[in-house]
């Protein structure tokens, strides 16, 4: 990375050109596991946006004090710190959401996008830009997961956000509820996105 | 001081770990009471739910529980009693292993063990969207008023909910056979426990 990347470039990279899901292929475990219903997907991705943003700021502020040898341990510590804070706050002030999320909150710790951004971006950039990078990476992750969840919930349960939308005679596709269906959608998504990218490159 | 030297590394790591953990401990300390009260409230709601008593969804449920439910201990098992439509209904808490972790909940039955009044799940660690659906209303509502056949109930097949209250069976969760089977065992074991308390 030469020089300071611009705010717009960071946004465009994280949402499209270098999207964490379909270009970097990061955070796939949660893409497969949680995308069978929109509510859970939505709440968890909001958590990821928050944790990614805050982790990036913190790593960026602390980067000059932390010896290189232990920087990844410290990053993990910071990620776990924010995830536990989110967990405690939800338990104390929004117990219903906390109950609905269950194990999702803890799963955020294992999301490699957060550590990836901390290591690749926050280690080399100023705090505010890192915050922006964390948030946009989270949003890039969020919209792909919501798209996958949209199709999986629609076909797997016949509902959207828990509201039945398919006609009465609709037979739910059980495979859509299981993790393998996310592979099909993700594969399809990567295919479409790459095709569009190649066309755009060819034109310019 | 040398940034990459061992002394600096150890001290820096210690300070960073110490401060983050201290912050966590502080947050935990400040929210402890609230979290504990939320936990008790949510358990009380589960008991009320299993009895089929309408809850308010607010702090008022805390007192509602005190008014409607009496607690007692028999043979070392906590027993909850309430009067529903003029007759006594009993509930116990249950816990057992699901696919990934412990499932805890409440089951309420008619005193003569003829029917289940209702069940509610307090906590579980099942796969979200699959086994985790045991905590959804459509699944739990299948147990409401379900007839108990020879002291058992069966969780079978697949589908969106069994509405026949006299066949002593409920539909399993699609794609979550292991969780469904585990729950069947847990429910039947708690029926046995209540039966033992009643002496039959």
A13: which DSSP letter? I
The C-alpha atoms of residue A177 and residue B174 are separated, in whole angstroms, by 9
Residues of B in contact with A158 (CB under 8 A): none
The C-alpha atoms of residue A88 and residue A95 are separated, in whole angstroms, by 10
For residue B78, list its beta bridge partners: B73
The domains of chain A are located at 7-143
Long-range CB contacts for residues B92-98, cutoff 8 Å, separation at least 24: B92/B190, B92/B193, B92/B194, B93/B122, B94/B186, B94/B187, B94/B189, B94/B190, B94/B193, B95/B186, B96/B182, B96/B185, B96/B186, B96/B189, B97/B182, B98/B124, B98/B125, B98/B126, B98/B131, B98/B178, B98/B179, B98/B182, B98/B183, B98/B186
What pLDDT digit, counting tens, does each position of A85-121 carry?
988 988 888 887 777 666 778 888 888 899 999 999 9
Find, in chain A, the residue whose alpha carbon is nearest to that of B57.
A96
The C-alpha atoms of residue B115 and residue B118 are separated, in whole angstroms, by 9
| Disruptive mutation site among B128, B159, B160, B175 for chain A (greatest number of A CBs within 10 Å) | B128
Confidence of residue A1 (pLDDT cuts 50, 70, 90): very low
The C-alpha atoms of residue A187 and residue A183 are separated, in whole angstroms, by 6
Whether residue B93 has pLDDT greater than 80: yes
Residue B98 CA to its chain's centroid (Å): 12
The C-alpha atoms of residue B176 and residue B164 are separated, in whole angstroms, by 22
| Disruptive mutation site among A102, A158, A180 for chain B (greatest number of B CBs within 10 Å) | A102
Are A9 and A95 contacting, i.e. CB atoms less than 8 angstroms apart?
no
What pLDDT digit, counting tens, does each position of A151-184 carry?
999 988 888 887 888 888 888 787 887 788 888 9
Locate B9 and state its tokens. 């590394």
Q: What is the ipTM of this complex?
A: 0.77
Q: What pTM was computed for the model?
A: 0.78
Nearest-neighbour CA in chain B from A15: distance (Å): 27
């Amino acid at each position: 990375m030469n020089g300071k990347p611009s705010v717009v470039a960071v946004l465009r990279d994280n949402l499209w050109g270098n999207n964490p899901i379909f270009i970097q292929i990061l955070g796939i475990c949660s893409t497969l596991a949680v995308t069978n219903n929109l509510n859970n997907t939505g709440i968890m991705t909001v958590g990821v946006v928050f944790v990614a943003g805050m982790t990036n700021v913190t790593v960026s502020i602390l980067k000059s004090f932390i010896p290189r040898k232990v920087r990844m341990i410290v990053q993990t510590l910071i990620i776990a710190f924010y995830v536990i804070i989110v967990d405690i706050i939800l338990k104390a002030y929004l117990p219903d959401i906390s109950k609905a999320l269950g194990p999702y909150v803890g799963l955020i710790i294992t999301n490699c996008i957060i550590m990836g951004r901390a290591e690749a971006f926050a280690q080399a950039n100023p705090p505010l830009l890192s915050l922006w990078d964390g948030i946009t990476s989270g949003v890039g992750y969020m919209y792909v997961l919501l798209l996958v969840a949209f199709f999986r919930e629609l076909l797997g349960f016949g509902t959207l956000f828990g509201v039945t939308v398919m006609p009465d005679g609709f037979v739910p596709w059980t495979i859509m509820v299981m993790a393998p269906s996310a592979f099909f959608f993700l594969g399809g998504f990567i295919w479409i996105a790459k095709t569009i990218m190649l066309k755009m490159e060819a034109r310019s | 001081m040398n940034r990459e030297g061992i002394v600096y590394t150890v001290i820096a790591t210690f300070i960073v770990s110490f401060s983050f953990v201290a912050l966590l401990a502080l947050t935990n300390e400040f929210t402890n009471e609230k979290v504990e009260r939320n936990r008790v409230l949510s358990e009380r709601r589960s008991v009320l739910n299993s009895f089929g008593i309408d809850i308010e969804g607010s702090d008022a449920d805390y007192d509602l529980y005190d008014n409607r439910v009496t607690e007692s201990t028999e043979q070392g098992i906590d027993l909850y009693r309430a009067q529903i439509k003029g007759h006594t209904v009993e509930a116990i808490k249950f816990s057992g292993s699901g696919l990934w972790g412990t499932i805890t909940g409440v089951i309420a039955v008619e005193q003569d063990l003829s029917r289940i009044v209702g069940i509610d799940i307090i906590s579980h660690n099942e796969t979200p969207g699959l086994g985790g659906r045991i905590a959804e209303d459509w699944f739990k509502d299948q147990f409401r008023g379900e007839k108990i056949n020879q002291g058992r109930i069966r969780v079978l097949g697949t589908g969106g909910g069994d509405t026949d209250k006299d066949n002593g069976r409920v539909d399993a969760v699609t794609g979550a056979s292991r969780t469904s089977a585990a729950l069947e065992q847990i429910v039947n074991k708690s029926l046995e426990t209540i039966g033992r308390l009643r002496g039959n």
